[in-house]
Amino acid sequence: MMLILGLVVFLAVHSIAIVAPAWRDDMAARYGALWQGGYSVVAALGLGLLVMGYGQARAEWGIVYIAPLWARHLTVVGMVAVFPLLLAAYLPGRIQAALKHPMLVAVKLWAVLHLLANGGLADLALFGAFLAWAVVDRISLRRRRPRIVPGLPQSKFNDLIAVVGGLALYALFIFGGHQWLTGLPAVLSRA
């Protein structure tokens, strides 16, 4: 249940702009850093519950399907793009201009790749929930007023920074970060 609670808390706080954009903007304008701080604390709490709950749920919940070996390889290769896309959300450049919302593209790609490689019920809950949220958020952006996302100023080097920094983050995850965060190695061997 900790996984479900973590998903609800984390995705609910990230869905305020989807379901109540005017209220969210009003609260952010009225309370400023206090709103941002409270938002961050609730999101961090949800993320903590989600990570701990995922570890427990993987051990307790059943397997729905066994992913083929090629899907695991595809996930490892496909994840190369995810980290640069995450950074591009905060580094205005050609990547951000072309994709409009590179963070949501990154979340969708991360979720789809992990759904391909993992067939446990906990995996379906976690990655399926994030995929659904990212799709709904992207659709809702069409009816919302654009908001300025904090980030670095426009620069011709931002795409390079996003790619190089993203590849460095990817390497950190491949060589221990994924294991540290999830308890599972990024590259699983067939045993």
1-50 pLDDT, tens digit per residue, is 999 999 999 999 999 989 998 899 899 889 988 999 999 999 999 999 99
Sign of CA dihedral 145, 151, 156, 162: negative
Query: Which of 35, 60, 85 corresponds to the end of one domain?
Result: 60
> Are residues 78 and 168 both part of a single domain?
yes
> Are residues 32 and 124 both part of a single domain?
no
Domain count, the chain: 2
Kindly report the backbone phi and psi dihedral angles of residue 110, in degrees, each rounded to the nearest multiple of 5, phi listed first.
-55, -45
Query: Which of 33, 60, 87 corresponds to the end of one domain?
Result: 60
Contacts of 78 (CB under 8 A, 6+ apart): 109, 113
How far apart (Å, rounded) are the C-alpha atoms in residues 78 and 61? 27
Evaluate if residue 118 carries a pLDDT over 50.
Answer: yes
The string of pLDDT tens digits covering residues 152-184 is: 788 889 999 999 999 999 999 999 888 888 777
Element (H, E) at 131: helix 121-140
Say if CB 128 and CB 115 are below 8 A apart: yes
Query: Which of 60, 94, 110 corresponds to the end of one domain?
Result: 60
How far apart (Å, rounded) are the C-alpha atoms in residues 96 and 89? 6
Q: Of 169, 153, 181, which Cα lies nearest the Cα of 48?
A: 181
> Are residues 170 and 93 both part of a single domain?
yes
pLDDT on residue 143: 84
> Are residues 157 and 172 both part of a single domain?
yes
> Are residues 104 and 140 both part of a single domain?
yes
On whether the pTM is more than 0.75, the answer is yes
> Are residues 178 and 158 both part of a single domain?
yes
pLDDT on residue 58: 87
Structure confidence at residue 191 as a pLDDT band (50, 70, 90): very low
Side chain identity at 146, as an amino acid letter? P
